[in-house]
Amino acid sequence: MALLLGMPGHICSTEADGELLQLALQWAVGGQSLQAEARACFLLARHHVHLKQPEEALSFLERLLLLHRDSGAPDAAWLSDCSLLLADIYSRKCLSHLVLSCVKVASLRTQDSLAGSLRSVNLVLQNALQPHSLPTQTSHYLRRALASLTPGTGHALRGLLHTSLAQPYSHQGYYGPAITFMMQVVEASGVAGVCAIVDPLVALAWLHVLHGQSLVALNILQSVQDAVVASED
């Protein structure tokens, strides 16, 4: 049992492993060893996640975070992933308040990875309590995703992220911010080539129309036509 707790890379994937870990957890609690309890909770959570049993992992993840908080140990990279995993489980249980809290905590602990930021956006979209606040909620995590990109790289992805930033503002009628983000899309698309810039320019023109700036939209569309890169449609 001590060997099972101490092996760093071992994945407990059988029912027998799970039973041993449960017994180890009971002994750790009885012996008041917080370090052993945390290790057992971590392994039990990983065990159930590996077996695609996220709800069974819930109590162990919750306890693990509490033990880490009480230990006063510095934040670690795995805490962000742990919080997002908790958010995903809460989302399955339709506990939207807890989902949004976990997502926020995950973003405060460490600098998000691109995958973590996009995962946060998805969780917010699925669990938004007030749809009108979506631009504010999602933009925070989309900006973090942009910040995680290496400068000078990922032009196509930058364009997609700026488009994603523009869309919720546009849907909610905040055309000024949406135009600002779409202009970033145009800049990112310009690096990819002349033809790639046509669709973003047309989208930018449409946002200006919605914003009551038809003359600006007309000038944009005229510039596209003059460049002879757009089809007749």
* CB-based contact 182:200 (threshold 8 Å): yes
Give me the pLDDT at residue 100, please.
Answer: 93
Bigger pLDDT: 207 vs 131: 207
pLDDT band at 181 (very low <50, low <70, confident <90, very high): very high
* CB-based contact 128:141 (threshold 8 Å): no
Bigger pLDDT: 200 vs 72: 200
pLDDT band at 122 (very low <50, low <70, confident <90, very high): very high
> How confident is the model over 102-116, as pLDDT tens digits?
999 988 866 668 888
Instruction: Flag whether pLDDT at 229 surpasses 70.
Output: no
Bigger pLDDT: 143 vs 112: 143
Mean pLDDT within 4-18: 70
Instruction: Flag whether pLDDT at 218 surpasses 90.
Output: yes
* Global pTM value: 0.79
Lowest mean pLDDT among 114-118, 176-180, 208-212, 228-232: 228-232
Mean pLDDT within 8-30: 81
Lowest mean pLDDT among 54-58, 103-107, 202-206, 228-232: 228-232
Give me the pLDDT at residue 166, please.
Answer: 93
Give me the pLDDT at residue 115, please.
Answer: 87
- Residue 128's identity, in one-letter code, is A
Euclidean distance between CA atoms 52 and 232, whole angstroms: 52
Euclidean distance between CA atoms 59 and 40, whole angstroms: 12
